[in-house]
Structure 1
Amino acid sequence: MTDLDIGEVARRAGVPPSTLRYYEDRGLITPTGRRGLRRQYDPAVLDRLALVSLARTAGFSLTEIATMLPPDAAPRVDRALLTAKADELDATIRRLAALRDSLHHAAACPAPTHMQCATFRRLLRSTHRTEP
Protein backbone atom coordinates (compact mmCIF):
# COMPACT_ATOMS: atom_id res chain seq x y z
CA MET A 1 0.00 0.00 0.00
CA THR A 2 1.24 3.50 -0.71
CA ASP A 3 1.95 6.15 1.88
CA LEU A 4 -0.86 8.39 3.01
CA ASP A 5 -0.85 12.15 2.81
CA ILE A 6 -1.23 14.06 6.11
CA GLY A 7 -4.70 15.21 5.07
CA GLU A 8 -5.82 11.64 4.42
CA VAL A 9 -4.41 10.45 7.76
CA ALA A 10 -6.14 13.34 9.53
CA ARG A 11 -9.43 12.49 7.84
CA ARG A 12 -9.24 8.78 8.60
CA ALA A 13 -8.07 9.27 12.18
CA GLY A 14 -10.58 12.04 12.87
CA VAL A 15 -7.99 14.53 14.10
CA PRO A 16 -6.78 17.82 12.63
CA PRO A 17 -3.39 17.90 10.87
CA SER A 18 -2.10 20.09 13.71
CA THR A 19 -2.63 17.16 16.09
CA LEU A 20 -0.60 14.92 13.80
CA ARG A 21 2.21 17.46 13.76
CA TYR A 22 2.04 17.72 17.56
CA TYR A 23 2.14 13.93 17.93
CA GLU A 24 5.11 13.90 15.60
CA ASP A 25 6.88 16.47 17.81
CA ARG A 26 6.14 14.27 20.85
CA GLY A 27 7.59 11.22 19.09
CA LEU A 28 4.31 9.31 18.88
CA ILE A 29 4.27 9.07 15.09
CA THR A 30 6.88 9.45 12.39
CA PRO A 31 6.31 10.49 8.78
CA THR A 32 7.95 8.45 6.06
CA GLY A 33 8.86 11.60 4.15
CA ARG A 34 7.29 14.38 2.17
CA ARG A 35 5.63 14.83 -1.14
CA GLY A 36 6.17 18.49 -1.84
CA LEU A 37 5.39 20.25 1.43
CA ARG A 38 3.00 17.60 2.69
CA ARG A 39 4.02 14.92 5.16
CA GLN A 40 3.52 11.31 4.14
CA TYR A 41 2.81 8.43 6.52
CA ASP A 42 2.84 4.67 6.32
CA PRO A 43 -0.74 3.34 6.58
CA ALA A 44 0.28 1.61 9.86
CA VAL A 45 0.23 5.09 11.45
CA LEU A 46 -3.54 4.69 11.66
CA ASP A 47 -3.09 1.80 14.12
CA ARG A 48 -0.69 3.88 16.21
CA LEU A 49 -3.17 6.75 16.22
CA ALA A 50 -5.93 4.36 17.31
CA LEU A 51 -3.70 3.24 20.19
CA VAL A 52 -3.04 6.87 21.13
CA SER A 53 -6.77 7.59 21.07
CA LEU A 54 -7.57 4.55 23.20
CA ALA A 55 -4.85 5.41 25.71
CA ARG A 56 -5.98 9.05 25.90
CA THR A 57 -9.56 7.93 26.48
CA ALA A 58 -8.32 5.68 29.31
CA GLY A 59 -6.61 8.69 30.87
CA PHE A 60 -2.97 8.11 29.99
CA SER A 61 -0.83 11.19 29.47
CA LEU A 62 1.03 11.71 26.21
CA THR A 63 4.28 11.12 28.10
CA GLU A 64 3.00 7.73 29.29
CA ILE A 65 1.78 6.92 25.80
CA ALA A 66 5.16 7.82 24.32
CA THR A 67 6.81 5.18 26.52
CA MET A 68 4.39 2.61 25.13
CA LEU A 69 4.90 3.68 21.52
CA PRO A 70 8.60 4.06 20.86
CA PRO A 71 9.44 5.56 17.47
CA ASP A 72 9.97 3.02 14.70
CA ALA A 73 9.21 0.07 17.00
CA ALA A 74 6.31 -2.13 17.93
CA PRO A 75 4.19 -0.93 20.85
CA ARG A 76 5.51 -1.93 24.29
CA VAL A 77 2.67 -1.93 26.75
CA ASP A 78 3.55 -2.28 30.43
CA ARG A 79 0.92 -4.60 31.87
CA ALA A 80 1.48 -3.28 35.39
CA LEU A 81 0.76 0.24 34.11
CA LEU A 82 -2.46 -1.02 32.51
CA THR A 83 -3.49 -2.68 35.76
CA ALA A 84 -2.77 0.48 37.74
CA LYS A 85 -4.81 2.57 35.29
CA ALA A 86 -7.69 0.05 35.44
CA ASP A 87 -7.62 0.26 39.25
CA GLU A 88 -7.65 4.05 39.03
CA LEU A 89 -10.65 3.90 36.69
CA ASP A 90 -12.44 1.51 39.08
CA ALA A 91 -11.98 4.03 41.92
CA THR A 92 -13.25 6.86 39.70
CA ILE A 93 -16.27 4.80 38.68
CA ARG A 94 -17.10 4.10 42.34
CA ARG A 95 -16.83 7.81 43.22
CA LEU A 96 -18.96 8.84 40.26
CA ALA A 97 -21.57 6.16 40.98
CA ALA A 98 -21.86 7.39 44.59
CA LEU A 99 -22.16 10.97 43.35
CA ARG A 100 -24.81 9.97 40.80
CA ASP A 101 -26.82 8.11 43.43
CA SER A 102 -26.62 11.07 45.83
CA LEU A 103 -27.79 13.47 43.14
CA HIS A 104 -30.70 11.20 42.21
CA HIS A 105 -31.67 11.01 45.87
CA ALA A 106 -31.38 14.78 46.35
CA ALA A 107 -33.53 15.37 43.28
CA ALA A 108 -36.30 13.16 44.66
CA CYS A 109 -35.80 13.89 48.37
CA PRO A 110 -39.05 14.71 50.20
CA ALA A 111 -37.31 17.17 52.54
CA PRO A 112 -38.67 20.74 52.25
CA THR A 113 -35.28 22.02 50.98
CA HIS A 114 -32.06 20.43 49.83
CA MET A 115 -30.29 21.84 52.87
CA GLN A 116 -32.70 19.89 55.09
CA CYS A 117 -31.96 16.64 53.23
CA ALA A 118 -29.46 14.52 55.20
CA THR A 119 -28.18 12.81 52.04
CA PHE A 120 -27.62 16.12 50.29
CA ARG A 121 -25.79 17.47 53.38
CA ARG A 122 -23.51 14.38 53.33
CA LEU A 123 -22.83 15.06 49.65
CA LEU A 124 -21.85 18.63 50.50
CA ARG A 125 -19.55 17.46 53.31
CA SER A 126 -17.90 14.90 51.05
CA THR A 127 -16.99 17.59 48.52
CA HIS A 128 -15.80 20.12 51.11
CA ARG A 129 -12.02 20.40 51.12
CA THR A 130 -10.21 21.87 54.07
CA GLU A 131 -6.85 23.58 53.98
CA PRO A 132 -4.07 21.67 55.80
Structure 2
Amino acid sequence: MRSFEQIADWVAQHYTVTHMEPFLLALELSLDQGRRRQSVFLSELMDEDGGRVLRISTAVADREHSRDALAKALEFNWQSRAGYLALGEMGGRSYLHLCENRAYPGLDATELERALLRIGGLGDGIERQLQGGDAF
Protein backbone atom coordinates (compact mmCIF):
# COMPACT_ATOMS: atom_id res chain seq x y z
CA MET A 1 0.00 0.00 0.00
CA ARG A 2 1.59 3.18 -1.20
CA SER A 3 -1.05 5.83 -0.42
CA PHE A 4 -3.62 6.79 2.16
CA GLU A 5 -6.33 6.27 -0.47
CA GLN A 6 -5.29 2.63 -0.96
CA ILE A 7 -5.30 2.11 2.80
CA ALA A 8 -8.73 3.76 3.16
CA ASP A 9 -10.16 1.56 0.38
CA TRP A 10 -8.80 -1.62 2.03
CA VAL A 11 -10.04 -0.59 5.49
CA ALA A 12 -13.54 0.19 4.14
CA GLN A 13 -13.72 -3.33 2.69
CA HIS A 14 -12.71 -5.03 5.96
CA TYR A 15 -13.94 -2.85 8.84
CA THR A 16 -16.81 -0.59 9.85
CA VAL A 17 -15.68 2.93 8.96
CA THR A 18 -17.33 5.48 11.24
CA HIS A 19 -15.78 8.68 9.83
CA MET A 20 -13.89 9.45 6.64
CA GLU A 21 -12.38 12.61 5.23
CA PRO A 22 -9.23 13.26 3.22
CA PHE A 23 -6.24 11.81 5.09
CA LEU A 24 -8.28 10.89 8.18
CA LEU A 25 -10.58 7.98 8.89
CA ALA A 26 -12.02 6.29 11.94
CA LEU A 27 -12.98 2.65 12.20
CA GLU A 28 -14.46 0.47 14.89
CA LEU A 29 -12.79 -2.77 15.93
CA SER A 30 -14.74 -5.59 17.54
CA LEU A 31 -12.65 -7.10 20.35
CA ASP A 32 -12.99 -9.82 22.97
CA GLN A 33 -15.27 -11.91 20.75
CA GLY A 34 -17.61 -8.99 20.14
CA ARG A 35 -17.99 -7.98 23.80
CA ARG A 36 -15.87 -4.83 23.45
CA ARG A 37 -15.37 -2.18 20.81
CA GLN A 38 -12.46 0.18 20.20
CA SER A 39 -12.34 3.16 17.84
CA VAL A 40 -9.10 3.42 15.86
CA PHE A 41 -8.04 6.43 13.81
CA LEU A 42 -5.82 6.49 10.72
CA SER A 43 -4.23 9.68 9.43
CA GLU A 44 -1.40 10.66 7.15
CA LEU A 45 1.52 12.71 8.45
CA MET A 46 4.77 13.93 7.00
CA ASP A 47 7.97 12.81 8.73
CA GLU A 48 11.02 15.01 9.28
CA ASP A 49 12.43 13.93 5.89
CA GLY A 50 9.23 14.82 4.01
CA GLY A 51 8.10 11.20 3.66
CA ARG A 52 4.49 10.19 4.19
CA VAL A 53 3.71 8.21 7.32
CA LEU A 54 0.53 6.45 8.41
CA ARG A 55 -0.43 7.20 12.02
CA ILE A 56 -2.59 4.60 13.74
CA SER A 57 -4.06 5.80 17.04
CA THR A 58 -6.78 5.09 19.57
CA ALA A 59 -8.02 7.18 22.49
CA VAL A 60 -7.44 5.49 25.85
CA ALA A 61 -8.33 8.14 28.43
CA ASP A 62 -9.91 11.54 28.81
CA ARG A 63 -7.14 13.68 30.27
CA GLU A 64 -9.50 15.54 32.60
CA HIS A 65 -10.87 12.32 34.09
CA SER A 66 -7.59 10.47 34.52
CA ARG A 67 -5.50 12.27 37.10
CA ASP A 68 -2.43 10.03 36.90
CA ALA A 69 -2.65 9.30 33.15
CA LEU A 70 0.46 11.33 32.32
CA ALA A 71 2.65 9.48 34.83
CA LYS A 72 1.31 6.14 33.56
CA ALA A 73 1.91 7.28 29.97
CA LEU A 74 5.55 8.05 30.68
CA GLU A 75 6.01 4.67 32.36
CA PHE A 76 4.33 2.95 29.41
CA ASN A 77 6.48 4.83 26.86
CA TRP A 78 9.63 3.71 28.64
CA GLN A 79 8.58 0.05 28.61
CA SER A 80 6.81 -0.09 25.23
CA ARG A 81 8.37 -1.85 22.27
CA ALA A 82 5.54 -0.87 19.93
CA GLY A 83 3.46 2.27 20.03
CA TYR A 84 3.63 5.25 22.32
CA LEU A 85 1.23 7.38 24.36
CA ALA A 86 0.65 11.03 23.53
CA LEU A 87 -1.86 13.79 24.20
CA GLY A 88 -4.11 14.75 21.30
CA GLU A 89 -7.31 16.70 20.85
CA MET A 90 -10.67 15.46 19.62
CA GLY A 91 -13.67 17.72 19.55
CA GLY A 92 -11.92 20.39 21.60
CA ARG A 93 -11.02 18.02 24.47
CA SER A 94 -7.64 16.56 25.33
CA TYR A 95 -7.27 12.77 25.28
CA LEU A 96 -4.47 10.36 25.88
CA HIS A 97 -3.90 8.33 22.68
CA LEU A 98 -1.96 5.18 21.97
CA CYS A 99 -0.19 5.81 18.64
CA GLU A 100 2.09 4.16 16.15
CA ASN A 101 3.54 5.66 12.97
CA ARG A 102 4.29 3.41 10.00
CA ALA A 103 6.14 4.35 6.81
CA TYR A 104 4.28 3.42 3.63
CA PRO A 105 7.12 1.43 2.04
CA GLY A 106 6.74 -2.16 3.19
CA LEU A 107 3.21 -1.64 4.51
CA ASP A 108 0.94 -4.29 3.06
CA ALA A 109 -2.54 -5.49 4.02
CA THR A 110 -1.23 -8.14 6.43
CA GLU A 111 1.01 -5.68 8.26
CA LEU A 112 -1.75 -3.03 8.36
CA GLU A 113 -4.23 -5.48 9.87
CA ARG A 114 -1.67 -6.65 12.42
CA ALA A 115 -0.95 -3.03 13.44
CA LEU A 116 -4.67 -2.17 13.68
CA LEU A 117 -5.40 -5.15 15.91
CA ARG A 118 -2.32 -4.57 18.08
CA ILE A 119 -3.03 -0.86 18.64
CA GLY A 120 -6.77 -1.48 19.09
CA GLY A 121 -6.29 -4.38 21.50
CA LEU A 122 -3.51 -2.79 23.51
CA GLY A 123 -5.41 0.51 23.56
CA ASP A 124 -8.50 -1.27 24.87
CA GLY A 125 -6.46 -2.81 27.69
CA ILE A 126 -4.91 0.53 28.63
CA GLU A 127 -8.35 2.15 28.49
CA ARG A 128 -9.73 -0.44 30.92
CA GLN A 129 -6.88 0.27 33.34
CA LEU A 130 -7.17 4.05 33.15
CA GLN A 131 -10.91 4.53 32.65
CA GLY A 132 -12.27 1.40 34.28
CA GLY A 133 -14.50 0.62 31.31
CA ASP A 134 -15.15 0.94 27.58
CA ALA A 135 -15.33 4.67 26.91
CA PHE A 136 -13.81 4.75 23.41
TM-score (norm 2): 0.26
- Asked which structure has the greater RCO (Cα within 8 Å, sep 6+), the reply is 2
Structure having the larger proportion of residues in strand: 2
Structure having the larger proportion of residues in helix: 1
TM-score (norm 1): 0.26
